[in-house]
Amino acid sequence: MIPTFAFYLFATIVVASGVMTIASRNPVHSVLWLILAFFNSAGLMLIVGAEFIAMLLVIVYVGAVAVLFLFVVMMLDVDFAALRAGFARYLPFGTLLALVLLTEIVFAVAAWNASGVATAAKAAPVNQNVPNIEALGTVLYTRYLYIFEGAGLVLLVAMIGAIVLTHRTRRDVRPQNVSLQNQRRPKDAVRMVDQPVGEGVKL
Amino acid sequence: MTEWFQGTLGYGFGWFAATLILILMIALPLMLAVAMIIYADRKIWAAMALRRGPNVVGPFGLLQSFADGLKVFLKETVIPSAANRGLFLLAPIITFTLALIGWAVIPFGPGMVLANINVGLLYILAVSSLSVYGVIIAGWASASKYPFYSALRAAAQMVSYEVSVGFVLIGVILWAGTFNLSGIIEAQRSHVWIINGFGFNPLLFPMSIIFFISALAETARAPFDLTEAESELVAGFQTEYSSMSFALFWLGEYGNVLLMCGLNAVLFWGGWLPPIDWAPLYAVPGIIWFFAKILIFFFIFSWVKATVPRFRYDQLMRLGWKIFLPISLLWVFLVSGYLLLTKEQCPADRRVLAAVTNEQQADRYMPSCRSGMLNLGRGAAGAIS
C-alpha cells in the first residue's frame, strides 16, 4: 500500500508542478516548481528501484544544473507583459509541437510493446542482490565502453568550446599572482636605512 | 524494534511506527546536541580570544543556548512588506529540514543506522547539494540587496566546492568498493596495518584534508562564511529574518556542521571504529568513538573559525577551481591507478556479471577478466583459451 500511495503522491506532484512551471507568473517561481518536479521524479525513480539514477537526478539536476539556472533567472529582469503578449501568437505553433511530441511518445511506447522488446525486458532475470550501481557500472564500462567514453568526450568538447567562446583575455588588468606574492620575502621589500640627520632618503 | 512493531501492528503500519520512533530518537538528541554545540562553539571561540564567553545562564553558562532559544521564540516574526511571503517562510524550513534528513544514513554504531541504503554516500551528497536552496530562496525572497548578494555568493560557492568533494569521495568509494556508509566504515578496519581509518593511508590523507576544507566551505563556516560576511553584507541571507525563522537558520547551520563533522569521521577516520584495531578498545561502545570523533572535528571547526581570517571571494573561487579541483582530479587517477595495480583485477562479483550479460559474452565485455580472475563457472583453462 505504501509504494502505491507514494507513487500517486509523487506522480501528482510531478504533474502539478510541471503545470505550475509554465503557469506561474514569476520566472523564479517557475524554476522552483521545475526543481520540485525534478525532485519528485527522483522519488518516482526510487520507487521503481533505480536508486542510483534517483540520486544522480537530485545531485546533478537539482543540486547543480537548477542552481545555476536559478542563479541566472534570479538576475534577469523580465518584463512579463511583453512575454504574455506573445502567448496567443505562439499558441498554434506550441500546440502543434506538443501534439507531435505526444504522438511520438505514443508511437514509441506502442512500438516498444509490439516489437517484443518490452516482454523480453520484463522476462529478463533481475538479480535482486546486485545493487544497481554495480549492475549499471558493469554494463557501462564493458559492453558500452566506447559509447560511454564517446559521450564523455562530447561533453569535454562542449565544455572546452564554452570556455573558449566566453573567455577573453584582458590586457589592461593586473591579475593577482598568488605564487609570486607568496614567494615575496621581507628582504625583497624592506630595506633598513641608517638615516643621517638633514638628508633625504635615497629611494 | 521494527520487527516487534511489525509483529504487533501489522507489517506496513508497524514499519511506519518504528521508523517514526527511530527518527525521533535521532532528531531530538540532535537538537539538544545542536544547542550544546552552539554553546561549545562560543566557549571555544571565547577561550581562543582570551574571553570568558557565555557564563551567566546556568552553571558555566551551560543553559545559554536555551535562554537564547526562548528569547528568539518569544519575539515577533517580522516579514518585510516587499518580501515574497511564501518563499520567505519556506526558506528556513528547507534549511532546517535538510540539515536533519542527512542524518538518516549516518551509522552511529554497528547496525545503528536508520536507513541502511546502498547509495548512502550519494544520498548525503544530494542532501548537501540541496541545502544551498535554503540560502538562495531566502536571499531572493527577502527582496533586499544584501541578502540577494549573499544568495548569489552561496550558489557559486556551493557549486564550486561540490565538484572537488565529489572527486575526493570517488577515492574513498574506490577503496571501499561501496557507497554504503556502514560498508565504508567496515572497509577501514585494519586499513593500515592495525590502524583503522582511510585517513592514515598516505595516499588518502591529502584527500581527507581537502575534504575537511571543502566541508568548511560547504557549510559556509569561517573562513568561507562569505554568505554572511557581516563586514560587507550585514548578515547576508539572514538580514531580514527574525524570531523563529532566524532560529531555524541557526539550528540548520549547526546541524549541517555536525553532519559534516560526522561525515569526516565516517569517511576518513573510521566512524564508530576505535582508532586502533585492538580488542580492549572495542569494549568502548562504537557510538562513543563516533561522538568523540565528531567532537574532535567540531573543535577543529571552531579552532579554524577563531584563528583564520575570512577569505576574499575571488580567493575562495581560486582555491576551489584552481587548486582543489586539479589536485583531487589528479588524486582520482593516482588512487584508481594504485588500486588497479594492487587490488584484484575484476572487482565485479561474478553474479553481477552473470546478471547483466551471459557467460559466453563475458570475456568479450571484460577483457581484463579473461586471465581467470573471474571464471564464470568455467574452468580456468577454458577462460584462458
The three grid cell numbers given for residue B270, joined into one nine-digit string = 573510521
Give the whole-angstrom CA distance, residue A42 versus residue A44: 5
Q: What total number of domains does chain B contain?
A: 2
In this structure, the answer to whether residues B358 and B278 fall within a common structural domain is no
**DSSP string computed for B2-41:** HHHHHHHH-HHHHHHHHHHHHHHHHHHHHHHHHHHHHHHH
**What's the rounded mean pLDDT across residues B206-227?**
86
State the pTM of this model: 0.81
**Burial (CB count within 10 angstroms: exposed 0-12, middle 13-18, buried 19+), residue A5:** exposed
A156 within a domain of the structure (yes/no): yes
In this structure, the answer to whether residues B335 and B381 fall within a common structural domain is no
Quote the mean pLDDT of chain A.
83
B95 within a domain of the structure (yes/no): yes
In this structure, the answer to whether residues B263 and B371 fall within a common structural domain is no
In this structure, the answer to whether residues B281 and B267 fall within a common structural domain is yes
What are the tens digits of pLDDT across the range B68-110?
888 888 888 888 888 888 888 888 999 899 888 989 888 888 8
In this structure, the answer to whether residues B305 and B205 fall within a common structural domain is yes
Core vs surface per residue B337-363: b (16+ CB within 10 A) or e: eebeeeeeebbbebebbbbbbeeeebb
In this structure, the answer to whether residues B220 and B276 fall within a common structural domain is yes
A160 within a domain of the structure (yes/no): yes
Domain that holds residue B187: 75-342
Residue B125 sits at the chain A interface (C-beta within 8 Å): yes
B63 within a domain of the structure (yes/no): no
Give the whole-angstrom CA distance, residue A18 versus residue A33: 7
Give the whole-angstrom CA distance, residue A64 versus residue A66: 6
Q: B379 falls in which pLDDT band (50, 70, 90)?
A: very low
B338 within a domain of the structure (yes/no): yes
- CA-closest candidate to residue A58, choices B250, B133, B160, B86: B133
Chain B residues inside the 8 Å CB shell of A135: 352, 355-356
- CA-closest candidate to residue B85, choices B17, B151, B141: B141
Which pLDDT score, from 0 to 100, does residue B369 have? 45
What are the tens digits of pLDDT across the range A115-126?
777 777 766 666
A186 within a domain of the structure (yes/no): no
* Substitution target from A36, A142, A159 for chain B, most B beta carbons within 10 A: A142
In this structure, the answer to whether residues B101 and B192 fall within a common structural domain is yes
Residue B50, min C-alpha distance to chain A (Å): 30
B205 within a domain of the structure (yes/no): yes
B234 within a domain of the structure (yes/no): yes
Q: Does residue B131 carry a pLDDT above 90?
A: no
| Higher per-residue confidence, A124 vs B147 | B147
Q: What total number of domains does chain A contain?
A: 2
**What's the rounded mean pLDDT across residues B366-385?**
39
B47 within a domain of the structure (yes/no): no
* Substitution target from B129, B369, B374 for chain A, most A beta carbons within 10 A: B129
B36 within a domain of the structure (yes/no): no
Q: Does residue B258 carry a pLDDT above 70?
A: yes
Q: What is the ipTM of this complex?
A: 0.75
Ramachandran category for residue B371: left, alpha or beta (phi over 0 → left; psi -120 to 50 → alpha): alpha
A96 within a domain of the structure (yes/no): no
Give the whole-angstrom CA distance, residue B78 versus residue B241: 7
Q: Which of A97-101, A153-157, B102-106 is the least confident region?
A: B102-106
C-alpha separations of B261 from B81, B163, B219, B341 in Å = 38, 19, 10, 32
Q: Across the interface, do A71 and B156 touch by the CB < 8 Å criterion?
A: yes
Q: Which of A131-135, B236-240, B271-275 is the least confident region?
A: A131-135
Q: How many CB atoms lie within 10 A of CB B242?
A: 15
Q: Across the interface, do A134 and B159 touch by the CB < 8 Å criterion?
A: no
Please say whether the beta carbons of B159 and A67 come within 8 A. yes
* Cis preceding-peptide flag for B223 (omega within 30 of 0): yes
Give the whole-angstrom CA distance, residue B214 versus residue B260: 10
B148 within a domain of the structure (yes/no): yes
A176 within a domain of the structure (yes/no): no
Chain B residues inside the 8 Å CB shell of A68: 155, 159
Q: Which residue of B has its CA nearest to A178?
A: B315
Q: Across the interface, do B357 and A142 touch by the CB < 8 Å criterion?
A: yes
Q: Does residue B225 carry a pLDDT above 80?
A: yes
Distance from chain centroid for Cα A92? 30
Domain that holds residue A155: 127-170
Which pLDDT score, from 0 to 100, does residue B350 have? 52
In this structure, the answer to whether residues B349 and B311 fall within a common structural domain is no
In this structure, the answer to whether residues B368 and B306 fall within a common structural domain is no
Query: In B63-176, which residue ranges form alpha helices assigned H by DSSP?
Result: 64-74, 85-101, 120-130, 132-141, 145-176
In this structure, the answer to whether residues A138 and A72 fall within a common structural domain is no
In this structure, the answer to whether residues B161 and B188 fall within a common structural domain is yes
In this structure, the answer to whether residues A62 and A131 fall within a common structural domain is no
Give the whole-angstrom CA distance, residue B347 versus residue A137: 11
Q: Does residue B372 carry a pLDDT above 50?
A: no
- CA-closest candidate to residue B243, choices B86, B363, B88: B88
Q: Does residue A4 carry a pLDDT above 90?
A: no
Please say whether the beta carbons of B331 and B167 come within 8 A. yes
A117 within a domain of the structure (yes/no): no
Q: B353 falls in which pLDDT band (50, 70, 90)?
A: low
Q: Does residue A91 carry a pLDDT above 90?
A: no
Those of residues 48-107 in A touching chain B at CB distance below 8 A are 51-52, 55-56, 58-59, 62-64, 67-68, 70-71, 74-75
Q: How many residues does chain B have?
A: 385
In this structure, the answer to whether residues B131 and B84 fall within a common structural domain is yes
Chain B residues inside the 8 Å CB shell of A70: 136, 155
Q: Across the interface, do A130 and B366 touch by the CB < 8 Å criterion?
A: no
A63: domain CATH number is 1.20.120.1200
A165 within a domain of the structure (yes/no): yes
A190 within a domain of the structure (yes/no): no
Q: Across the interface, do A71 and B155 touch by the CB < 8 Å criterion?
A: yes
In this structure, the answer to whether residues B368 and B330 fall within a common structural domain is no
Which pLDDT score, from 0 to 100, does residue B184 have? 85
Termini Cα distance of chain B: 54
Give the whole-angstrom CA distance, residue A100 versus residue B70: 60
Q: Across the interface, do B162 and A75 touch by the CB < 8 Å criterion?
A: no
